């Protein structure tokens, strides 16, 4: 009986995923990015232009909490790998961890107006740290779920591509809703507006998390060996593909999050209109959707590694083009952000697909299958890169003399 069950699980793991399951999985990243992209794109400007934290201090908070998030990812990875439940080891965290995540997210963007400068810094720092902890215990199991749903390489690319599309669409939707609120950051009731916006986003995220939980399954058989941090690190030592992927992820995320940190400032002061940031995000999303929809075909025709390298060069070209955008030239900026979406969308989608493959490689080399541990290691490196990139963006605008809410810079 046990052998028959094991054979059935292996057959399910190798079988093709239905489109419904791929879409349901992508809904989890819509939920993730309701909160994550809000903090990535707008927390820096919220700190400097609404609650009055200096650019240097805002950058420090952003960098510290992102690096802290890397460590919470490692803790989450080890915890979820040891979970036992009737829903599996990953999906229960999506179900039960999403509500605390939504609550902390709303509080982060609800800084009271009557707090002193020190209390404001403490509020944002502590709640951002709490948010990153809560996010780790939802995102790590969610990201690990791709390697537990299937062992089919093309299907993993389908899951990663769908996830990238969902992330990009969510980002552009947030941009159109939130970016115009920064045109007048001194308006009456602006803080309350942000709180209400975040409550709505939190509720929508909970609905999408539930859809993801209800329509996904873990079918890949578990490792016979119990997983702990020591064994996960042993697996990493012998998992060269995962190490290489982590190195590439660090530099990619530093570049991406430097751009995320300064994107709103670029729209306001280089292009001359904060509302135009939404159009930049739309151009980026079009590029991301285009390349993400091609990821399964790229996997079959040229391989994930070659597709990743080509996408990286497209991202480099986009950064160079952004540097040369003339003041007020929305059209040139849109072209640059389109290529930015193609480059970063391709690298991210293929990165997540390759990470799922490194789980199988690690199991083959060491006998240890650690979905949560493997994903958390990559996520740790990504979070460190995000922190360094966010700090670098704030440090750059501070070094050039940025003054919050000043009409000219």
Q: What is the DSSP string of 245-291?
A: HHHHHHHHHHHHHHHHHHHHHHIIIIIS-GGGHHHHHHHHHHHHHHH
pLDDT exceeds cutoff 70 at 381: yes
Token reading at 261: 């940190």
Q: For residue range 111-137, what is the model confidence (pLDDT) as tens digits?
A: 998 899 999 999 999 999 999 999 999
Rounded to whole angstroms, how far apart are CA atoms 148 and 223? 11
- The residue behind tokens 């919470």 is 72
Query: What pLDDT is attached to residue 5?
Result: 41
DSSP 407: S
Query: What pLDDT is attached to residue 222?
Result: 66
Mean pLDDT of 345-367: 83
Neighbouring CB atoms inside 10 A of 143's CB total 28
pLDDT exceeds cutoff 60 at 109: yes
Rounded to whole angstroms, how far apart are CA atoms 116 and 123? 10
Query: Which of 205, 178, 162, 199 has the alpha carbon at shortest distance from 38?
Result: 178
Q: For residue range 156-197, what is the model confidence (pLDDT) as tens digits?
A: 889 988 888 888 888 888 888 887 777 666 667 778 888 899
Query: What pLDDT is attached to residue 89?
Result: 85
Query: What pLDDT is attached to residue 56?
Result: 82
Lowest model confidence (mean pLDDT) among 50-54, 108-112, 339-343, 358-362 = 358-362
Q: For residue range 289-323, what is the model confidence (pLDDT) as tens digits?
A: 899 888 888 888 888 899 999 999 999 999 999 99
- Percent of the chain at pLDDT > 70 equals 91
Q: Where are the domains of the chain?
A: 19-399
Question: In the CATH scheme, what is the homologous superfamily, with its name and number, of domain 19-399?
Answer: MFS general substrate transporter like domains (1.20.1250.20)
DSSP string, 287-325: HHHHHHHTHHHHHHHT-HHHHHHHHHHHHHHHHHHHHTP
Work out the mean pLDDT of the chain and round it to a whole number.
85
Mean pLDDT of 24-46: 89
> Element (H or E) spanning 189, and its range?
none
Per the model's pLDDT, the better-predicted residue between 231 and 161 turns out to be: 161
Query: What pLDDT is attached to residue 375?
Result: 76
Query: What pLDDT is attached to residue 227?
Result: 61
Query: What pLDDT is attached to residue 7?
Result: 44
């Amino acid at each position: 009986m046990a052998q028959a069950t094991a054979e059935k699980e292996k057959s399910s793991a190798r079988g093709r995923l239905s489109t419904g399951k791929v879409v349901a999985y992508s809904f989890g990243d819509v939920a993730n990015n309701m909160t994550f992209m809000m903090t990535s794109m707008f927390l820096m400007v919220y700190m400097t232009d609404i609650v009055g934290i200096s650019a240097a201090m805002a950058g420090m908070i952003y960098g510290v909490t992102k690096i802290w998030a890397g460590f919470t990812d490692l803790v989450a990875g080890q915890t979820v790998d040891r979970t036992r439940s009737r829903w599996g080891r990953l999906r229960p965290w999506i179900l039960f961890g999403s509500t605390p995540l939504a609550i902390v997210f709303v509080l982060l963007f609800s800084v009271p107006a009557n707090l002193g400068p020190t209390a404001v810094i403490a509020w944002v720092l502590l709640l951002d740290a709490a948010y990153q902890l809560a996010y780790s215990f939802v995102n790590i199991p969610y990201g690990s779920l791709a390697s537990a749903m299937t062992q089919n390489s093309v299907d993993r690319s389908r899951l990663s591509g769908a996830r990238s599309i969902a992330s990009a669409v969510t980002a552009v939707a947030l941009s159109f809703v939130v970016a115009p609120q920064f045109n007048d950051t001194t308006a009456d009731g602006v803080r309350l507006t942000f709180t209400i916006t975040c409550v709505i986003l939190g509720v929508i995220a909970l609905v999408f998390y539930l859809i993801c939980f209800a329509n996904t399954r873990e079918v890949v058989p578990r490792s016979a060996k119990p997983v702990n941090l020591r064994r996960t690190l042993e697996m990493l030592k012998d998992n060269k593909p995962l190490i290489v992927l982590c190195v590439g992820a660090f530099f990619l995320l530093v570049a991406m999050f430097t751009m995320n940190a300064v994107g709103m400032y670029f729209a306001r002061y280089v292009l001359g209109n904060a509302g135009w940031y939404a159009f930049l995000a739309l151009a980026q999303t079009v590029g991301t959707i285009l390349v993400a929809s091609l990821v399964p075909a790229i996997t079959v025709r040229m391989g994930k590694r070659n597709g990743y390298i080509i996408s990286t060069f497209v991202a480099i070209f986009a950064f160079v083009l952004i540097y040369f955008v003339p003041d007020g030239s929305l059209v040139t900026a849109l072209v640059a952000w389109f290529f930015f979406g193609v480059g970063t969308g391709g690298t991210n989608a293929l990165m997540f697909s390759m990470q799922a493959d490194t789980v199988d490689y690690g199991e083959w080399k060491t006998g240890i299958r650690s979905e949560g541990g493997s994903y958390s290691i990559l996520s740790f490196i990504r979070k460190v890169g995000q922190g360094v990139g966010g700090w670098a963006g704030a440090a750059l605008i501070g070094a050039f003399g940025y003054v919050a809410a000043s009409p000219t810079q």
